[in-house]
């Protein structure tokens, strides 16, 4: 991973490597490190700067030396100060203006990213240009890998079981909306190797990672694209005629759910099935009752209401499904038990993502928020505490008169 660091005038920091090239600072994560942690360590070691903030930019396969391609992941970084202390790994540092022509000793793949950030273009940060990322309360991209991996371990088995009867046959088409890291769409592609599978997410960071994971696993019949579900009426013909569309843990973050479900139904083939799986945050509980667990959940529910969202969205999703605008083919409630320490970390990671927003919204003060986080790390993680995961409603829908029997 590589850091794009700018000074007060917008110049980008480069370091000269033993090959004589100017490169962006950064390196590889060590065992157990997240990319952000590794980047902070590498930047401190290589040039003495302390990173205070990071934003995922994107990833790119690059030929660093002949016949050796590597995947570089880039972050836009803020640091304290601009006094450079170059380590023995490099011979010098240079602040380079990206408004001029590319220096001969800067590889094109570094220059393209540095120039994008220097010009402040929409693709250079962690936003989608329309505010979607700033509205979404959870982390995305590489920094969210752990939370989504745990989510998959807890919920994927139930999701796959419900989806199994509706997987497309032979050369069918499937779409996963809000695909995140792409675990469900990759599974569909692997189960249906002759089908065409598309994963869609509003986060470019998620799409980058999902694409990379599919490439690493050799899953060739799935592709991932950046698209905004809120603008479903504006989607092109690529998103039509699907035999299966699946939408999981996505509608709870969006308003106007009836319109979106209607739009997804319209993207089905005549016999297609839409599978919606959405949760009730009000269903969470712990045994014995853990005050920090309960307070964290109620604060997040309150935040949703302030944003005009009901995170306890099972009732609304069922109302939309049973309204008569479509045919219900199957429906089921599911709720896993969260008991292992590894799986209970999902609660802690989710609260940590929300914490700053809860404090900014004056739902919690900083002292209370820190106390909840500390209690979740200590008391909730004890072996004698178990909790119910999110209760979800799983619904298989078709157009009126369509779908499988």
The pLDDT value recorded for residue 37 is 86
d(CA 224, CA 60): 15
Residues 354 and 226 in one domain: yes
Cα 393 to Cα 332: distance, rounded to the nearest angstrom: 6
DSSP code of 180?
T
Same domain, 325 and 230: yes
DSSP-derived secondary structure for 32-67: T--HHHHHHHHHHHHH--EEEEEEEEEEEEEEEETT
What phi and psi values does residue 287 have, to the nearest 5 degrees? -130, 120
CA 347 to chain centroid: 16
Structural domain includes residue 323: yes
What range does the domain containing 391 cover?
A: 133-398
Cβ-proximal residues to 101 (8 Å cutoff; 6+ apart), any chain: none
Q: Give the C-alpha separation, 253 to 325, whole Å.
A: 22
82-121 b/e (C-beta count within 10 Å ≥ 16 → b): eebeeeeebeebeebebeeeeeeebbebbbebbbbbbeee
Same domain, 101 and 32: yes
Asked if 324 and 345 sit in the same domain, the reply is yes
Token pair 């929300």 in the structure block, residue: 354
**Quick check: pTM over 0.75?**
no
Q: Are residues 55 and 192 in the same domain?
A: no
Nearest to 154 by CA among 146, 143, 163, 165: 146
Given this model, what pLDDT does residue 139 score? Answer: 66
pLDDT score, position 54? 82
Tens of each residue's pLDDT in the chain, 405 residues: 899 998 877 889 999 999 999 999 998 888 777 778 888 999 999 999 999 888 777 777 777 777 666 778 888 888 877 789 999 999 999 999 887 788 989 988 888 888 777 655 433 333 333 444 446 777 666 657 788 889 999 999 999 999 999 999 888 999 999 999 899 999 999 999 999 999 999 888 888 889 988 998 999 999 999 899 999 998 887 888 999 999 999 999 999 999 999 999 999 999 999 999 999 998 999 999 999 999 999 999 999 999 899 999 999 999 999 988 899 999 999 999 999 999 999 999 999 889 988 998 999 998 999 999 999 999 999 999 999 999 999 999 999 876 554
Residues 402/270, Cβ–Cβ less than 8 Å: yes
Contacts 24+ apart (CB under 8 A), 149-152: 149/181, 150/342, 150/343, 150/345, 150/346, 150/349, 151/249, 151/346, 152/181, 152/183
Structural tokens at position 115:
């120039």
- Cβ–Cβ under 8 Å, residues 342 and 286: no
d(CA 25, CA 3): 6
d(CA 204, CA 228): 11
Domain total in the chain: 2
- Token couple for 83: 């006094």
In a domain, 208, yes or no: yes
- Is 331 a member of any domain? yes
**Consecutive H or E run containing 173:** strand 173-177
Pair 6, 117 in one domain:
yes
Integer angstrom CA distances of residue 174 from 72, 166, 167, 238: 30, 10, 8, 11
- For 260, half-sphere exposure in the C-beta direction (CA atoms, 13 angstrom radius) is 20
Backbone angles phi, psi at 12, to 5 degrees: -105, 140
- 209 CB contacts (<8 Å, ≥6 apart)? 59, 141, 142, 145, 181, 182
- Rounded to whole angstroms, the Cα distance separating 62 from 312 reads 45
Residues 12 and 91 placed together within one structural domain of the fold: yes
CATH of the domain at 233: 3.40.50.150
263 with 178, same domain: the answer is yes
Verify that 166 and 90 share a domain, yes or no: no
Tell me the two tokens of residue 227: 């698209």
Indicate whether 403 belongs to any domain: no
85: CATH: 3.90.79.10
Task: Tell me: do 295 and 349 sit in the same domain.
Answer: yes
User: What pLDDT does 317 receive?
Assistant: 95
Same domain, 90 and 188: no
Tokens (6 digits) for 234: 């504006």
């Amino acid at each position: 991973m590589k850091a794009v660091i700018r000074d007060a005038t917008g110049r980008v920091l480069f370091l000269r490597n033993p090959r004589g090239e100017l490169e962006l600072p950064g390196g590889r994560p060590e065992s157990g490190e997240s990319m952000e942690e590794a980047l902070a360590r590498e930047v401190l070691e290589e040039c003495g700067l302390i990173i205070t903030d990071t934003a995922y930019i994107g990833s790119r396969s690059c030929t660093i030396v002949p016949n050796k391609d590597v995947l570089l992941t880039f972050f836009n970084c803020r640091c304290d100060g601009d006094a450079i202390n170059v380590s023995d790994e490099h011979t010098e540092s240079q602040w380079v203006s990206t408004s001029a022509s590319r220096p001969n000793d800067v590889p094109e793949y570094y220059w393209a990213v540095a120039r994008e950030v220097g010009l402040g273009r929409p693709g250079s940060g962690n936003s989608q240009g329309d505010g979607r990322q700033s509205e979404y309360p959870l982390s995305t991209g590489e920094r969210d890998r752990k939370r989504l991996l745990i989510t998959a371990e807890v919920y994927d088995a139930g999701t796959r079981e419900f989806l199994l009867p509706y997987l497309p046959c032979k050369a069918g088409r499937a779409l996963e909306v809000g695909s995140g890291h792409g675990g469900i769409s990759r599974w569909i592609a692997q189960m249906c190797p002759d089908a065409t599978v598309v994963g869609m997410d509003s986060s470019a960071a998620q799409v980058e990672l999902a694409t990379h994971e599919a490439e690493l696993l050799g899953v060739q019949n799935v592709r991932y694209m950046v698209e905004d579900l809120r603008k479903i009426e504006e989607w092109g013909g690529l998103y039509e005629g699907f035999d299966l569309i699946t939408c999981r843990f996505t509608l709870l973050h969006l308003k106007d759910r009836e319109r979106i479900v209607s739009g997804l139904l319209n993207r089905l083939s005549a016999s297609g099935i839409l599978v919606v799986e959405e949760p009730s945050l009000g269903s969470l509980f712990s045994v014995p009752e853990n005050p920090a667990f309960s307070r964290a959940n109620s604060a997040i529910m309150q935040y949703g209401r302030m944003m005009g969202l009901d995170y306890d969205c099972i009732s609304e999703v069922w109302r939309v499904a049973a309204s008569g605008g479509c045919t219900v083919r199957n429906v089921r409630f599911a709720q896993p038990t969260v008991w292992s320490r590894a799986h209970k970390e999902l609660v802690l990671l989710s609260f940590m993502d929300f914490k700053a927003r809860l404090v900014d919204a004056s739902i919690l003060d900083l002292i209370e928020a820190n106390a909840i986080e500390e209690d979740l790390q200590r008391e909730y993680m004890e072996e004698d505490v178990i909790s119910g995961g999110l209760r979800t409603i799983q619904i298989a829908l078709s157009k009126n008169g369509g779908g499988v029997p």
